[in-house]
């Protein structure tokens, strides 16, 4: 079976959005879309599952909160109780207001950094990664839609030309 794909290139995000809707209506399988910038609503138009990154962030926040709570409890209460400004030093809850900024920052730090790292891993991005986009123009001002070829090739090409693509190519994918 051939591993051919169609590369339909657009030069406007609104045209791209309409093309995506038409392609989905015609039941062609969109494999990937390369854009120079995030296009609002594209994920919904492509029918991608909603991101679960927010849930991850919430959990990371809770992890950060508990780590920093434990840390402050160990450092300031258990291991070496410190008397700062005459505050009671043998009870975490009595000292809690002083630790709130630290607990808050820890929550934010963990949620933010781990969320970014998760996002990179999920998008298969890491340092020295080779670019995957098939056409350099998608880093400038063009949008590329990659669609698998499963039926009549010529019909597909004319279909994509009719959706407003400035260029339609059939490529053998490795």
Binding site for another protein (CB under 8 A): 40-41, 54, 58, 85-88, 91, 93-94, 96-98, 100-101
Question: With respect to another protein, which residue has the nearer C-beta, 77 or 147?
Answer: 77
Minimum CB distance to another protein, residue 105 (Å):
13
Q: For another protein, which is the closer residue by CB, 96 or 166?
A: 96
Minimum CB distance to another protein smaller for 40 or for 129: 40
Shortest Cβ 40–another protein spacing (Å): 7
Vertex 141 angle, CA 137 and 145, to 5°: 65
Euclidean distance between CA atoms 146 and 138, whole angstroms: 12
Nearer to another protein, 32 or 94 (CB): 94
Asked if residues 173 and 6 have their Cβ atoms less than 8 Å apart, the reply is no
Rounded to a whole number of angstroms, the minimum distance from the CB of residue 88 to another protein is: 5
Instruction: Decide whether 96 or 121 has the Cβ nearer to another protein.
Output: 96
Q: How far apart are CA 164 and CA 21, in angstroms?
A: 12
Distance of closest approach, residue 101 Cβ to another protein, in angstroms: 8
Our separate counts of H helices and E strands in the chain read: 5, 4
Which residue bears the tokens 């919904």?
44
Q: With CA atoms as reference, report the closest residue to 77 among 101, 99, 100.
A: 99
Residue 97 C-beta: closest distance to another protein, Å = 5
Max CA distance (Å), the chain:
82
**What gap in Å lies between CA 136 and CA 122, rounded to an integer?**
23
């Amino acid at each position: 079976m051939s591993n051919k794909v169609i590369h339909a290139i657009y030069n406007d995000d609104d045209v791209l959005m309409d093309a995506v809707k038409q392609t989905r209506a015609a039941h062609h399988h969109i494999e990937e879309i390369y854009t120079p910038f995030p296009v609002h609503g594209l994920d919904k138009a492509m029918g991608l599952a909603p991101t679960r990154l927010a849930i991850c962030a919430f959990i990371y926040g809770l992890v950060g909160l508990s780590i920093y709570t434990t840390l402050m409890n160990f450092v300031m209460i258990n291991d070496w109780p410190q008397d700062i400004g005459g505050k009671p030093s043998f009870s975490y809850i009595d000292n809690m207001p002083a630790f709130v900024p630290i607990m808050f920052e820890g929550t934010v730090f963990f949620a933010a950094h781990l969320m970014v790292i998760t996002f990179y891993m999920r998008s298969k991005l890491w340092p020295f990664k080779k670019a995957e986009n098939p056409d350099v123009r998608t880093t400038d001002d063009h949008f590329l839609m990659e669609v698998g070829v499963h039926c009549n090739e010529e019909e597909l090409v004319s279909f994509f030309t009719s959706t407003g693509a400035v260029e339609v190519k059939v490529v053998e994918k490795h």
